Structure 1
Amino acid sequence: MTTTLPTIEILCSPSQLRGKVTVPGSKSITNRALLVAALANGKSSLSGVLVSDDTCYMVKALTELGARIRFSSGTNIEINGTGTLKQPSDSLYLGNAGTAMRFLTAACALVEGNVVLNGDEHMQKRPIHPLIDALNAAGINATVPSSGCPPCTLHGQGFIPGGTIGVSGALSSQFLSSLMLVAPLAKRPTIIKLAEDNIGATGYIEVTRSVMEAFGAHVYQDDEKSFHIANTGYSVCDFKVAPDASAATYFWAAEKLTGGMIDLGYTSDDFSQPDAAAYTLMQSFPSLPTFIDGAQMQDAIPTLAVLAAFGSSIVRFTGIANLRVKECDRIAALHKGLNCIKPGLATIEEDDLIVFGDPELPKRARPCTIDSMSDHRIAMSFALAGLKCRGIKILEPDCVGKTFPDYWSELSSLGVSLSYA
């Protein structure tokens, strides 16, 4: 039986988008802070948290692991942690929440007993074997199928040994962050050594460090590849989650595409995540740089790629190989979507995406349906194309609930007319 997937079509948009929108809290910071607060001994308060699919999976899992979590208001949470985690009564289901899967895989070593962590069909295609290898080398019994992807099984002993741990961050910096986040609970001080001389998305390592230090951890480096973490445990904290820079990129790009003015309630300097660097690049639109290195702002690349399609430059996006192992292969999804709008608009050379900007694209674009691949960032980015081109439909629009449930309503508040089917 054939199932028809839902779509959303951008019917029309004001020539200039003007108004005010609400940017949610950062997913990256929220899920780090949720875990750290759950590992502290006592009550912590988090404000400005993101409430979305990804963070709700983390909240549910932490509750099943013994933390007491209560929403005191819409985006404020109180967490009572015990300084450790208990064995859940069943496996932990984490959907396609990559941060939850990776961070909890290491954290479940604190459980005395076996824990299975699983996700949806997309999660079961996302590699996690570098983290599993690192845990086993550190004396923590962890297994994963031959695919190297979830489900993961942790055979916890109730403690983390500590000492020196090696890990590869080539596929994702989240493997390093995962080990960092649990290191303060180890039996002895921990030194985490990166297998590579450098990795992409080092800005997210700084996000990890800042959350840890807010809850009393001590992290220092004696070189770029070694992270020393004291076994201090975590202290309770009243913590404010910063706004989400990745979400902001869509409205920064919408401003540039339409010549409008959108008030986010924050300046670009108020965003602490690496994707905020996209703001400066967008200021040169329509003449974007010929080369854009996406290693340090990977979640902003789909936004920048769609914006580049309307520019006057040929833009090569480099340093983006890790986009192939996100919620989908984002390099392939961007290539397919851009060429759906206009054949020849983009090409791929190895892991680089090249976008051939066309200032006349609104006149030359053809009506089409963009396959979001169930990826929130693909759906939200290609909505930007619909602001300028007629007939753009996007499959599975509800996938934006992963990080920005109110995305479509915020676009509507700016006067964008949408049609669901």
Structure 2
Amino acid sequence: MTTQVVRPIVGSLDADVVLPGSKSIANRALVGAALASGQSTLRNIADSDDVVAMISSLRSLGAEIHHEETTATVVGVAGRPAPPQSPLNANQSGTTARFLLPVLALAGSGTLTAHEQMLSRPMADQVAALRALGAELTAESLPISVRASVTGRSVEVASSTSSQFVSGLMLIGGCLPDGLDLHLQGEPVSQPYITMTAEVLRAFGASVEWQGDHIRIAGGGYVGREYDVEPDASTATYPLAAAAIVGGRVRVVGLGSDSIQGDVGFASVISSMGANVRVTSDAIEVRG
């Protein structure tokens, strides 16, 4: 057993903080790069369990991925994932499972499973949408096998259970010959994560339009590129709050007004509580 000693802060803070990349953005970027034509270089990739599970599965789907420290080099499959020779395993990551199932349906054959704790997680709404698009799937909860590929271009999808169902379908939209029209049923939960997916897809060359309950992703595929994953905005809330409470100065580098993460709004929350907050395009600084 490892013992770690935590010593309380004495006095005020004064720090520039560099945080690991957002795993939510990283997994979206990994799928975009894996489905793209050409090579991508993704930087600030955190070595989290979710990311490791995603990389392993995308390799099984035909993408060439070299991951060293915080950088991943990806050679994509140009919109044509290969049927995996063994089951894909999302481990304990709901995001990974809900992003991989549409990619597996695009491949047309294979099985997706996960850790036993994941087997009861909801998947039925996404399964229903994929079936409506022509895919043949054997179950409504994990493990799920795919027997036939996606052929449609327009579908209704329940968006009030999980935004991950919507994001997963969006990720394959640009790989379909005629693109994909998603008609959202119900008030979308975690809407900022759908916005995040749209922004990542645009970074890889997709045309994404979202008006009301309709999302349109044009066909034409994705293009490999260099991509820097933003620092994780949820993690940033802790040092920023510490500066507001204890006093002093904390600056989070690489995260600012240009962020595609909804949690960056935490800066406005602590500003309304009296903290001195300065936000630039690529940094947030709090003085307490």
- TM-score, length basis structure 2: 0.86
In 1, the alpha carbon distance for the partners of 2:89 and 2:232 equals: 25
Residue 231 of structure 1 corresponds to which residue in structure 2?
Answer: 219
Residue 188 of structure 2 corresponds to which residue in structure 1?
Answer: 199
In 2, the alpha carbon distance for the partners of 1:74 and 1:64 equals: 21
Q: Which runs of 5+ in 2 are unaligned?
A: 276-288
Residue 126 of structure 2 corresponds to which residue in structure 1?
Answer: 131
CA change 1:121–1:279 in 2 (3 A) is farther
Deviations 1:42-95 (A, max 9, x none): 212212222211111111111111110113x53222111122111222111122
In 1, the alpha carbon distance for the partners of 2:190 and 2:215 equals: 16
Residue 104 of structure 1 corresponds to which residue in structure 2?
Answer: 100
Deviations 1:204-252 (A, max 9, x none): 112111111121211213x310112221111222222222111111211
Deviations 1:148-204 (A, max 9, x none): x422222243xx3132111011111111111111011113232110011x3122221
Task: Give yes or no for contact 2:134–2:148 (8 Å, CA) kept in 1.
Answer: no
Deviations 1:261-303 (A, max 9, x none): 333224542532001112211234489xxxxxxxxxxxxxxxx
Task: Give yes or no for contact 1:243–1:271 (8 Å, CA) kept in 2.
Answer: no
In 1, the alpha carbon distance for the partners of 2:242 and 2:158 equals: 37
Task: Give yes or no for contact 1:161–1:187 (8 Å, CA) kept in 2.
Answer: no
Calculate percent identity across the aligned residue pairs: 33
Task: Give yes or no for contact 1:44–1:80 (8 Å, CA) kept in 2.
Answer: yes
CA change 1:280–1:25 in 2 (3 A) is same
Amino acid at match of 2:41: S
Task: Give yes or no for contact 2:18–2:254 (8 Å, CA) kept in 1.
Answer: no
CA change 1:36–1:252 in 2 (3 A) is same
Alignment of structure 1 residues 35-54 onto 2, 5 Å:
35-54=31-50
Residue 175 of structure 2 corresponds to which residue in structure 1?
Answer: 185
Q: State the shift of 1:11 in Å.
A: 4.7
1:144 equivalent in alignment to 2:139: yes
Residue 281 of structure 2 corresponds to which residue in structure 1?
Answer: none
Amino acid at match of 2:8: S
1:162 equivalent in alignment to 2:152: yes
Select which of 4, 9, 12 maps to 1:14: 9
Residue 240 of structure 2 corresponds to which residue in structure 1?
Answer: 252
2:260 alignment partner, SS class: coil
In 1, the alpha carbon distance for the partners of 2:192 and 2:77 equals: 30
Structure number with larger C-alpha Rg:
1
Q: State the shift of 1:112 in Å.
A: 3.6
Aligned CA-pair RMSD: 2.3
Residue 296 of structure 1 corresponds to which residue in structure 2?
Answer: none
Q: Which runs of 5+ in 1 are unaligned?
A: 1-5, 288-421
In 2, the alpha carbon distance for the partners of 1:275 and 1:243 equals: 11
CA change 1:48–1:109 in 2 (3 A) is same
